[in-house]
Amino acid sequence: MNGFSTRIGKLTVLAALLVGAPGLLVATSDARELDEHVTSLIEKTLDATTQAQAFDELQTLGCEAVPVIIRLMDDRRPLPNHAISLENKSPDAFEGVRHYGPEQVVDALAAILNQVTGESFGFIYNGASDDERAETVKSWREYLDRVGPKGVCGASEPN
């Protein structure tokens, strides 16, 4: 086959993929937008004037954002305010709001992941050692690998 025929063949395959998979392109675009949005909110946690609102928005994103948060959570930058408040959703709760004192971004993101998923892989919400933080991040990533993106809030991921 000559070079011209090979190029035409590759273009035909590419065109078929693009025509046959518009949902894939939309999904990729949506995933990129979510990734950028979560990244932007994490950056806002580093500003004392926007930190609390960014925490609220991160948890409001819900289960869809959990895989992105897990991927980005190993962020050891210090927080300007060592405070996060989360609604206590436990039926046995004796207080309506849980208050923590995270020292680093990773600490706050672990608290938000616990809030959204109900899972916990190490109590670093009030700060912790580097080893405890590393173990918590590792455990969250193993959890995501085990349940898959659609299983993070209890829905089963088909194999």
According to the model, what pLDDT value does residue 2 have? Answer: 53
According to the model, what pLDDT value does residue 63 have? Answer: 94
**DSSP track, 61-116:** TGGGGHHHHHHH----PBPSS--EEEE---TT-SSSEEEE---BHHHHHHHHHHHH
Q: Which residues of the chain have pLDDT under 50?
A: 1, 4-6, 8-9, 11-18, 20-26, 156-159
CB 51 within 8 A of CB 79: yes
Q: Which residues contact 135 (CB under 8 A, 6 or more apart)?
A: 121, 122
According to the model, what pLDDT value does residue 73 have? Answer: 97
- For 78-90, what is each residue's pLDDT tens digit? 999 999 999 888 7
According to the model, what pLDDT value does residue 134 have? Answer: 98
CB 105 within 8 A of CB 45: yes
According to the model, what pLDDT value does residue 154 have? Answer: 76
- What are the residue ranges spanned by the domains of the chain? 3-150
According to the model, what pLDDT value does residue 75 have? Answer: 98
According to the model, what pLDDT value does residue 153 have? Answer: 86
